Amino acid sequence: MIRINENYLKLKASYLFADIAKRVTAYTAANPGKPIIRLGIGDVTEPLTPASIEAFHAGVAEMAVRSTFKGYGPEQGYAFLREAIATHDYAARGADIAADEIFVSDGSKCDCGNIQEIFATEGLKLAIPDPVYPVYVDTNVMAGRTGANLDGRYQGITYLDCTPANGYVPAIPSVATDLIYLCFPNNPTGAVATREQLVAWVAYAKANKAIILFDSAYEAYIRDPKIPHSIYEIPGARDVAIEFRSFSKTAGFTGTRCAYTVVPKSLMAYDDAGNAHSVHALWNRRHTTKFNGVSYPVQKAAAAIYTDAGKAQVKAMTDFYLGNAALIRAAMTKLGLSCVGGDNAPYIWINTGTDSWAFFDKLLNEAQVVCTPGAGFGKCGEGHVRISAFNSRENVETALARIAATLK
Ligand code: MLT
């Protein structure tokens, strides 16, 4: 008799954004004359930049000619892209990351979800913020690292509460943990971590022989020059952290798919006997076994964001979304709602103080605007909703007018 992985039975029936999509589809079917504006899932709306499109076309043209055609590429990514990343995202910020410590992939969601596979299941102590991008929790539940979900929280996880009291930046836990998930600029709250806060996390990880999984998918939205873009800007982080980056929100690649994960060669994890093993070697083994690389034209398109023209175009694109974010934040504040985020991140986290799914339903039914209910990101997300800045200016302005009419 074929048996299932019973850990899946501990999960909520569907993934947060699938749940929301189901409600929106049902509403649209019942109300065909009422157009919806989507400020829920963080999906980009602006086209790829001219630099990326030109490189994408050039890559496709090379695939059409025998002499430049390419079959399987290196699983870890082409050298031209890995070298551009090492130079522009790391060396330029004083971070010591080599090109061969970078693994190009088809998305940070997959990488954040897959990375846990190379660590122990039994006895591994997890630290996960709340609210949080649900992938971190759900993939650990699937792997069997948690107990049941009791009252909205899985047993076996040290939750790091992010609340108005701590500015939505979690405190270091008072207990030892082994695998720590951090995301800055944060999804869903848009909060950022200061250098001092990251220094403290690196020291904690070092003291506990732990590893930090640092998701910086939204770093391109940082405008405050004092805020680190990478955990590797912190001395010693090479020995305790893996970093996830994505071209999705940086350069509009949500539909094109390209991201990367940095696993420094100095990062170690331990077997039962306490012997150190290279995490880079383990991830390389996993990556080469289960992944065949991102397509050549897509990697060409990604590399183009590091040219002078590409940099300027990507900055203009992220500035545009931050302009939306500023409008959203100002409109919410005018309605008397307190909010964070939106200044160094494309998300605005609004403290409504009310049931977050009820607030979601109200905006959907009365304003035809989709947001994301905070409860979907964890227990501490209750009483909040997230509004995404990813949409056209016209749609954002229309949505804000509709929300104002609904809430006034
Ligand atoms: C979100 O809305 O939280 C993100 O779009 C999800 C993702 O990047 O997978």
Contact call for residues 324 and 37 (beta carbons, < 8 A): no
Ligand 1 first shell, C-beta below 6 A: 41-43, 109, 133, 187
Rounded to the nearest angstrom, the distance between the alpha carbon of 109 and the centre of ligand 1 is 8
Structure tokens, 52: 């990326």
Residue type, 74: P
Q: What is the pLDDT of residue 13?
A: 79
Low-confidence ranges of the chain (pLDDT < 50): none
Q: What is the pLDDT of residue 163?
A: 98
Q: What is the pLDDT of residue 12?
A: 87
Give tens-digit pLDDT for 365-399: 999 999 999 999 999 999 999 999 999 999 999 99
CATH topology of domain 6-47+311-407: Aspartate Aminotransferase, domain 1 (3.90.1150)
The Cβ of residue 260 has, within 10 Å, a number of other Cβ atoms equal to 23
Closest ligand 1 atom, residue 109 Cα? 9
3-state secondary structure of 25: helix
Rounded to the nearest angstrom, the distance between the alpha carbon of 167 and the centre of ligand 1 is 22
The Cβ of residue 352 has, within 10 Å, a number of other Cβ atoms equal to 23
Give tens-digit pLDDT for 300-338: 999 999 999 999 999 999 999 999 999 999 999 999 999
The Cβ of residue 35 has, within 10 Å, a number of other Cβ atoms equal to 10
Residue type, 107: G
Rounded to the nearest angstrom, the distance between the alpha carbon of 41 and the centre of ligand 1 is 6
Cα torsion angle, 113, 319, 222, 245, sign: positive
Where are the chain's structural domains? Answer: 6-47+311-407, 53-308
Please give the Cα distance from 247 to 333 (Å, whole number).
31
Identify which of 155, 108, 160 has the alpha carbon closest to the alpha carbon of residue 130.
160
Q: What is the pLDDT of residue 186?
A: 98
Q: Are strands 179-183 and 369-370 parallel, antiparallel or unpaired?
A: unpaired
Mutate to test the pocket of ligand 1, among 41, 44, 245, 387 (most ligand atoms within 8 A of CB): 41
- Using a 10 angstrom Cβ sphere, with 0-12 exposed, 13-18 middle and 19 or more buried, the burial of residue 336 is exposed
Rounded to the nearest angstrom, the distance between the alpha carbon of 208 and the centre of ligand 1 is 30
Q: What is the pLDDT of residue 408?
A: 84
For the structural domain made of 53-308, what CATH number should be given?
3.40.640.10
Q: What is the pLDDT of residue 14?
A: 86
What's the whole-model pTM score? 0.97
Structure tokens, 189: 């709250």
Rounded to the nearest angstrom, the distance between the alpha carbon of 193 and the centre of ligand 1 is 20
Q: What is the pLDDT of residue 206?
A: 98
Strand partners, 261: 103, 244
Closest ligand 1 atom, residue 388 Cα? 2
